[in-house]
Amino acid sequence: MTALDRLLSAAPGGCAVPVWPTDKAGANLGMTGTAFVIGASGAVGRFVMPRLLAAGHAVVALSRVEQPPQDGVVWLRGGLDVSLSAPAVDALICVGPLDHCVDWLESSRSPAPRRIVALSSMSADSKLDSPDAAERVLAARLASAEQRLMAYAARHDIPATVLRPTLIYGAGVDRSLTPIVRLALRSRVFPLLPGADGLRQPVHADDVAAACVAALSDAAAGQVLPLGGGERLSFAQMLKRVRAGLDRYTIPLPLNIFLLQTASRITGRGGAMLQRLKRDLVADNRLARELLGVESRPFYPHGDCWRPVRMSAVVPPGAPVVAK
């Protein structure tokens, strides 16, 4: 009987229950077992799933919408609410909204996982002092969710790791660079910002996925780890790299930041975003590299980075290998 077959035994609420050791002092699964993925259809989830399967995990994945069958995966359809009855699993990987995940963990009657890896964001730090009230609320909500997750893990004696990635790209579903690319491809005009000298450290969604899987080893238990890409470059340089990697020609359109700031003052919109163009928003990868053994790739995106990635059971070619 395979791990997936074990998942198909009936459980209350129509969920499946895997048969794995539940005693933390028992058999060491060597980072394999059953993983419950929240946010599986999101940017990072699309890469986490293939990496988990390639590492020998059985996967239970949550989605609000019906998903096509996939070898090695049991899909649960629903949202993160009290009615969700999840199976007993060896690991919970949350690559969806962290606060919703913690709300569910705190109220759920489902068995507690043996390990937790969750994504937050560097926005928890970088937007704390934003002039935009909504961004300050976001930063506070992220920080609170991180603290609540760690408190839950401590109460249940669960190794937990939180990753704080920088700007994520590569799955074609992000809300940062992909919308700019799509507009540029439609209009054949690509906006550039020569005066935007604040540093950025964009990280590929698959590199974040590699870090999530590596964190299942418990090497970074109890840690909140910043995670950026393998290169720091100015916002202006980042846009130039994006344009250079496209498979269609676009006309460069340099924009004047001073004029944009003037327009922002008149309209009362976009001020916080424009201020950040002059600020460095980067991460120190040393701890993630030391504890997880992952190396993020430098930022040389190509056209496929901006097209939605289909979930696959194969780790994408050229994906970084987790160091042993």
Parse the chain into domains and list their residue ranges: 3-19+30-172+203-232+282-300
Structure tokens at 211: 């870090």
Would you call 252 helix, strand, or coil by DSSP?
A: strand
**8 Å CB contact between 161 and 31:** no
| Angle of the 133-155 helix axis to the 98-107 helix axis, nearest 10 | 40
Would you call 115 helix, strand, or coil by DSSP?
A: strand
CA dihedral 81, 85, 88, 91 (to 10 degrees): -30
pLDDT value for 260: 77
Average model confidence (pLDDT) for the chain? Answer: 84
pLDDT value for 323: 42
Confidence of residue 32 (pLDDT cuts 50, 70, 90): low
Would you call 192 helix, strand, or coil by DSSP?
A: strand
- For the chain, give percent helix, strand, coil, nearest 5: 35, 15, 50
- Superfamily grouping for domain 3-19+30-172+203-232+282-300: NAD(P)-binding Rossmann-like Domain (3.40.50.720)
pLDDT in tens, 249-293: 999 999 988 877 777 677 766 667 777 888 899 999 999 999 999
Q: Is the pLDDT of residue 158 over 60?
A: yes
Q: Which whole number is the average pLDDT over 150-168?
A: 97
Q: Which whole number is the average pLDDT over 22-30?
A: 32
Q: Higher-confidence residue: 25 or 152?
A: 152
Residues 6+ apart with CB under 8 A from 262: none
For residue 89, which of 66, 57, 124, 118 has the smallest C-alpha distance?
A: 57
Structure tokens at 149: 């997750």
Structure tokens at 296: 């993020």
Q: Give the DSSP H or E segment for 38.
A: strand 34-38
d(CA 92, CA 243): 37
For residue 63, which of 37, 33, 97 has the smallest C-alpha distance?
A: 37
Q: Where are the alpha helices (DSSP H) in the chain?
A: 3-7, 45-54, 98-107, 123-126, 133-155, 178-187, 205-214, 235-244, 257-267, 271-276, 286-292
For residue 299, which of 214, 236, 238 has the smallest C-alpha distance?
A: 238
Q: Which whole number is the average pLDDT over 107-136?
A: 89
For residue 73, which of 51, 95, 94 has the smallest C-alpha distance?
A: 51
Structure tokens at 118: 């969750």
pLDDT value for 63: 85
